[in-house]
C-alpha cells in the first residue's frame, strides 16, 4: 500500500501555540524549533483499531458508566462525518470524546470545581466511523465551568474530540462547541482560533438527528487535513 501524499497544513486556520490570553499556553508552547520526522515515519500508515476493541456501550455515555440509574442532565445525540482533505469519508477511524457532566465537572482528581459529580456519568466514550465516515454518540449536554484563566472566567459548553486517521498526519485533537453559546465571545481558547476558522468548531442543531421525545441532535463534521481542516484544540 502506497503512502498518501499530504498537502501542507493550513496553519492560518489553527490557533497559535502561544496565545497570551490563554494562560496555560505560556507554559506548554514550544520554545525550540520543531524536529522534522524522517519521511518514512511521517507518511507511515500506522495500525489503528478494529471493532473487537470496542464495547457495545462505548459510544453511549448515558449508559456506559451507569450504576444505579440514568445520568442527570439534557440528553443529546452528537453525530457527524470524519472527512479527509478531499472531502472523502474516513472509514474505521477511532473517535474518542471526553467532557464535563451537566453540572460542569469532570471525573478527574484535578477537577476541584464546587459542583456535584454524577455517579452514573463518566464523561468518556469512543467509537469507529462507519463506511460513510460517520460517528455517533449519545451523551449529556455538558455544563459550563469556571477555569481560573482570568477573573470570572468560564469555559463554554464543549466536548473534547480525539481522532486517529489512517496515518500519522491525520491525528487531530479538538473541541466541539454548541450554537448560540454567549460564552464563546469571552473564551480565550475559542477566540485564539483565527476568526475565519472558528465556526468550524461550532456544531449545528439538527432536527433530523433529534430523537422524538428523547434527545436533541447536533451535527459536527470533522476534516482531518487540508484548507478546511477542523482547527486543533
Residues designated catalytic: 106, 145, 155, 158, 160
Cα separation, 101 vs 116, whole angstroms:
9
Residues paired with 141 in a beta bridge: none
CB 176 within 8 A of CB 161: yes
Using DSSP, state whether 189 is helix, strand or coil: helix
Q: In what order do the strands lie in the sheet with 124-128?
A: 124-128, 94-98, 158-164, 172-177
What are the φ and ψ backbone dihedral angles of 80, each rounded to 5 degrees?
170, -175
Residue 216 to residues 130, 139, 156, 158, Cα–Cα distance (Å):
22, 10, 18, 15
Nearest to residue 212, comparing CAs of 75, 101, 63?
75
CA angle 103, 108, 114 (to 5 degrees): 40
Cα separation, 149 vs 79, whole angstroms:
30
Amino acid at each position: 500500500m502506497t503512502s498518501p501524499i499530504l498537502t501542507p497544513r493550513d496553519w492560518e486556520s489553527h490557533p497559535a501555540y502561544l496565545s497570551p490570553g490563554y494562560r496555560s499556553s505560556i507554559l506548554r508552547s514550544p520554545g525550540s524549533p520543531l524536529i522534522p520526522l524522517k519521511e518514512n515515519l511521517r507518511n507511515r500508515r500506522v495500525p489503528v483499531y478494529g471493532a473487537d476493541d470496542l464495547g457495545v456501550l462505548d459510544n453511549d455515555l448515558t449508559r456506559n458508566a451507569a450504576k444505579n440509574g440514568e445520568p442527570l442532565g439534557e440528553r443529546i445525540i452528537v453525530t457527524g462525518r470524519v472527512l479527509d482533505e478531499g472531502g472523502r469519508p474516513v472509514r474505521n477511524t477511532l473517535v474518542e470524546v471526553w467532557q464535563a457532566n451537566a453540572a460542569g465537572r469532570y471525573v478527574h482528581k484535578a477537577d476541584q470545581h464546587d459542583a456535584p459529580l454524577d455517579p452514573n456519568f463518566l464523561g468518556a466514550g469512543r467509537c469507529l466511523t462507519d463506511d460513510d465516515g460517520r460517528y455517533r454518540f449519545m451523551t449529556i449536554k455538558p455544563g459550563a465551568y469556571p477555569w481560573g484563566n482570568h477573573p470570572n472566567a468560564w469555559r463554554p459548553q464543549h466536548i473534547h474530540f480525539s481522532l486517529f486517521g489512517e496515518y500519522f498526519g491525520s491525528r487531530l485533537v479538538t473541541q466541539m462547541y454548541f450554537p448560540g453559546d454567549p460564552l464563546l465571545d469571552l473564551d480565550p481558547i475559542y477566540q485564539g482560533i483565527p476568526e475565519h476558522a472558528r465556526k468550524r468548531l461550532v456544531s449545528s442543531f439538527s432536527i433530523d438527528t433529534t430523537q422524538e421525545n428523547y434527545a436533541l441532535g447536533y451535527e459536527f463534521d470533522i476534516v482531518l487535513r487540508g484548507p478546511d481542516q477542523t482547527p486543533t484544540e
